[in-house]
A = this chain, B = another copy of it.
Amino acid sequence: MDRAVPRSVEAVDEARQWGRLMELARIGAIPGDGVNRQALTALDREARRLLIGWAEAAGATVTVDAAANLWLRREGTDPGAAPVLTGSHMDSQPAGGRFDGIYGVVAGLEVLSALHQSGTVTRRPIEVVAWTNEEGSRFAPGCMGSMAWSGFRPVESFAGIADADGVRFGDALAEHLAAEADIPRRPLGFAPGAAPHAYIEAHIEQGPRLEAEGLEIGVVTGIQGSRWFEVTVSGDSAHAGTTPVSLRRDAVQDALRALNALNDAMHDPADVLRFTVGRIAVSPNSSNSVADMVRFSIDLRHPDAAVLGPRGDAIAGVVQAALRNCTATVAETFSAAPTEFDPGVVAAVEGAAAALECRHALMPSGAFHDAQFVSRVAPAGMVFVPSRAGISHNPAEYTAPAQLAAGTRVLAKALLDLAA
């Protein structure tokens, strides 16, 4: 690197960062190099303890807030200055990979380690945050930690949401905070007028574009909007051998009609709208009983609010019109409007990529991220690194050590510039 690169950026250590990621990936490891580490579980806590140990060795102070967001803080020279934030999440999908979320936390930690090692002093404090339950796979919706921190929804409003085993979020959170009672508590959110100076989240792209275009860095300009729905179709259970098909109120069959109608209504010839049914539950789920209930999820995303709004609003009507024998309810469980990131933060990331001579492009994010909620209350942006074959939410998720290190150097340079 030329001398324009700060010593702290040069101190970003590709091998150290990769080693930490691989060590963390053993916690909740599943076959095929995957990870299943759900929010607020013992595995989540085990991973957090490992992170805390590394952070303390790098001179950071560790705190936790009432939403179990975990904070690693390195002081600046100006104690009153608003901090610069970075981070992401440590929970994974049930059949997830080794990089989604955890890379952004480890990259932030790597910046703290590089600053510590190089003896670099910033004016503003730098804080690394691990947001609680970004994935939403144990407790839906996702981004609970960043939503609660940004004031988008009170943490108490999630308390009654149950996981597949019937455990309520409020109880899981209380158990978790009790297990971390030795960690100093910090207030959730920030004092009025004391918003962070900026937030940058590093993340794998989770799409194919950077790899396909031979780029190292995605300078993320915004996030497409998301709306989640839960559809419950209710009929009557009956004996599969004795009940004529014409007399049934079969929830599977009416769910099928609703799904067919939704596929038609959500078709997008441009293939920009993302319509996904990923979760289906049937009751009583017995092969020789007609189903009395089918519940399925809908995940709908589009970068343009003018498309996402009407398409999402149409869902309940499409479902109701498709039913033949059953009744149905349609509940919207999550909604996030399309986000445009702060031009100043986007410029800082782009400037860092340029200064470090990384091949980069401006791009939107297809996935949602905690940055979506942080951006409501503080200037925010993101750094993307390539995802091999665009694969994510899958054990095969992969980004090479050098690609991850390049992303962390861009993150370090941008954070340094914003913290100056």
Q: Are B205 and A278 in contact (CB under 8 A)?
A: no
| Bound complex: CA A117 to CA B236 (Å) | 43
Closest to A334 in B: B287
- Of residues 251 to 283 in A, which have CB atoms within 8 Å of B's CB atoms? 252-253, 256, 259-260, 263, 268, 271, 273-283
Q: Are A276 and B259 in contact (CB under 8 A)?
A: no
| Bound complex: CA A183 to CA B213 (Å) | 73
Q: Are B287 and A245 in contact (CB under 8 A)?
A: no
Q: Are A279 and B286 in contact (CB under 8 A)?
A: yes
Instruction: Check if A154 is an interface residue, CB within 8 A of chain B.
Output: no
Could you give, for residues 228-265 of chain A, a 1 whenever the CB lies within 8 Å of some chain B CB and a 0 otherwise?
10000000111111111110001011001001100100
- Pick 6 A–B contacts, CB within 8 A, sort by A: A93-B284, A135-B286, A135-B288, A205-B242, A242-B392, A287-B299
Interface residues on A, range: 35 or more
Cβ-neighbour of A282 out of B237, B279, B283, B367 (below 8 A): B279
Instruction: Check if A116 is an interface residue, CB within 8 A of chain B.
Output: no
Q: How far is the CB of A233 from chain B (nearest CB, A)?
A: 12
Instruction: Check if A351 is an interface residue, CB within 8 A of chain B.
Output: no
Q: Are B268 and A278 in contact (CB under 8 A)?
A: no
Task: Return chain B residues, CB-CB under 8 Å to A237.
Answer: 95, 393-394
| Bound complex: CA A137 to CA B239 (Å) | 12
Tell me whether A242 and B367 are in contact in the complex, defined as CB-CB below 8 angstroms, given that A252-B280, A278-B252, A285-B280 are known contacts. Answer: yes
Could you give, for residues 283-314 of chain A, a 1 whenever the CB lies within 8 Å of some chain B CB and a 0 otherwise?
11111111110100111010000000000000
Task: Return chain B residues, CB-CB under 8 Å to A390.
Answer: 238, 242-243
Cβ-neighbour of A207 out of B140, B243, B283, B290 (below 8 A): B243
| Bound complex: CA A136 to CA B286 (Å) | 9
- Of residues 180 to 212 in A, which have CB atoms within 8 Å of B's CB atoms? 205-207
| Bound complex: CA A182 to CA B250 (Å) | 45
Q: Are A368 and B241 in contact (CB under 8 A)?
A: yes
Instruction: Check if A224 is an interface residue, CB within 8 A of chain B.
Output: yes
Q: How far is the CB of A327 from chain B (nearest CB, A)?
A: 17
Instruction: Check if A63 is an interface residue, CB within 8 A of chain B.
Output: no
Tell me how many chains of this kind the complex includes.
Answer: 2
Give the interface SS of chain A, mostly helix, strand, loop or mixed. Answer: loop
| Bound complex: CA A363 to CA B237 (Å) | 24
Task: Return chain B residues, CB-CB under 8 Å to A94.
Answer: 284-286, 289
5 interchain residue pairs of minimum CB distance: A242-B366, A287-B297, A207-B242, A240-B276, A241-B367
| Bound complex: CA A297 to CA B285 (Å) | 9
Cβ-neighbour of A292 out of B95, B228, B253 (below 8 A): B95
Q: Are B299 and A288 in contact (CB under 8 A)?
A: yes
Task: Return chain B residues, CB-CB under 8 Å to A135.
Answer: 286, 288
Q: Are A240 and B286 in contact (CB under 8 A)?
A: no
Q: Are B95 and A228 in contact (CB under 8 A)?
A: no
| Bound complex: CA A301 to CA B285 (Å) | 18
Q: Are B252 and A271 in contact (CB under 8 A)?
A: no
Q: Are B245 and A274 in contact (CB under 8 A)?
A: yes
- Of A206, A238, A287, A292, chain B has the most CB atoms within 10 Å of the CB of A287
Instruction: Check if A226 is an interface residue, CB within 8 A of chain B.
Output: yes
Tell me whether A278 and B301 are in contact in the complex, defined as CB-CB below 8 angstroms, given that A226-B241, A237-B393, A391-B238 are known contacts. Answer: no
Instruction: Check if A101 is an interface residue, CB within 8 A of chain B.
Output: no
